Amino acid sequence: MIPISKTPSILIAGTGSGVGKTTVSMGLMAALGSRYRVQPFKVGPDFIDPSHHTAICARPSRNLDSYMMGEKGVLETFTRASSDAGFCVIEGVMGLYDGIDSTETASTAHVAKILGIPVLLVINASGVSRSVAAVVKGFIEFDSVNIKGIILNNIGSERHARLIRDSLTNAGITIPVVGALPKSKDLTIPSRHLGLHMANEMKQDMSALPGFIEKHLDMDAVISIASGFIPPDAEINEPGERFSVNIGIAWDSAFCFYYRDSFDELRSLGAEPVFFSPMCDELPDVDGIYLGGGYPELHASELETSRTRHIIKKVAEDGMPITGECGALLYLGEELETDRTFKMAGLLPCSSRMTGKLQALGYTEAESVCDTPLAGKGNIVRGHEFHYSITECDRDAVFAYNMRRGKGISGGKDGLVEHNTVASYMHTHPASVSFARFLHSCSRYNKR
């Protein structure tokens, strides 16, 4: 059992996407880093924002997703990650109340209610003044979220900020404005087809961000609000069976989309992660392989010329368990077409091509229709899909999943199976599908 620690904690939410949550969250993490050991979190299934959090805080950012993880999983991850932290900052997703379909599930509000955490609401104040009071009043009264402070973004002038503060007072709103940030074109992160750039690819100088936040936020008020957080009780499950195996994990610019909870679960079950780059490393001595998503299409030439693709196919044919997600599906197939066609690992009976538009985005739910290294027949798996590619499969291809929600690879099916390998467009979280079955398969392979 992990003791519950009363760590000052705050959640940064927004009235919608694009209002400045990421700028405020990253700036606050950086500013607080000079005083505390900051533990970052991100609501939702995102991989990219957490990479920036991790770089800023020098601690792995954790995802809190009530759809994939459930309420218990959210509580457990938050409790584990915050146990030795001095301050927790959670970045929300979309608008505060935006969840899956018309429900609160997967919303920032749902996570806020699970944890009972104080919320700072970021509002884009560009082009509005008194209307902000109407927005705040609506957000306060809509649900029982613990909104404790307001941050105004894109303020035009001190007079503009004063007009908004007066309007809030006149409307009887007692929640304080703890920050008024002026417009700043220099403090934005460039984006591309799968979202923002990963932290290791950033060329933009963001060193001014913590000073910007310190200047325009009332840091004492933020710390005071966060210090009022009372953590909820959480039951922490200890792992059962342990497996003494080495798991090769693809980790480079082509394969970089992973939930840190996945690495944690692998270790807690006795596995030793061995990180390698399919672009430039030999395959290490391992008992199984886990390939995440990322940007194989941007590194297709290096992946083609590396002999590692041939080795991975060979060990797969020998029965080594392999599990892959999204970008891994593209890599494990026969070919990948971008500006030209590149040879890939040739393990799965499919070929993929990049398109100019989004092909799938959203949460998934699937039923496993056969036994694979990752899930048994009849298991229900929840995850997330986000890609710009199309994958075409051979007629006799075997699929692991029937999709109850989401698109999958083709015809409502996902998860190509070949030998002891399964790869899908769906990203999963260990709270939805544990790695225990995968490690059991790797252990059997090890003992042959």
Residue 32 tokens read as 């607080």
> Where do the H-state alpha helices sit in 116-192?
131-142, 158-170
**Residues 359, 392 contacting (CB under 8 angstroms):** no
DSSP secondary structure code for residue 282 in this structure: P
Active site residue ranges: 326
The tokens of 183 are what? Answer: 């417009």
Counting other chains too, the contacts that 263-267 makes at CB distance below 8 Å and 24 or more residues apart are: 264/80, 264/430, 265/239, 265/430, 265/434, 265/435, 266/290, 266/435, 266/439
Residue 240: CB atoms within 10 A of its CB come to 8
What helix, strand, coil percent values describe the chain, rounded to 5? 30, 25, 40
Length of the chain: 448
The terminus-to-terminus CA distance of the chain in angstroms comes to 36
Contact 415, 372 (CB under 8 A): yes
The H or E element that residue 444 is part of is helix 436-446
| Rounded-to-integer distance, Cα 401 and Cα 368, Å | 5
Go through 173-190 and write b for each residue having 16 or more CB atoms within 10 A of its CB, e for each that does not.
bebebbbbbbeeeebebe
Work out whether the CA dihedral 60, 61, 64, 65 comes out positive or negative: negative
Query: In 237-313, at which residue ranges do the beta strands (DSSP E only) sit?
Result: 246-250, 255-257, 272-276, 288-291, 293-294
> Directed axis angle between helix 21-32 and helix 209-216, to 10°?
90
Contact 173, 140 (CB under 8 A): yes
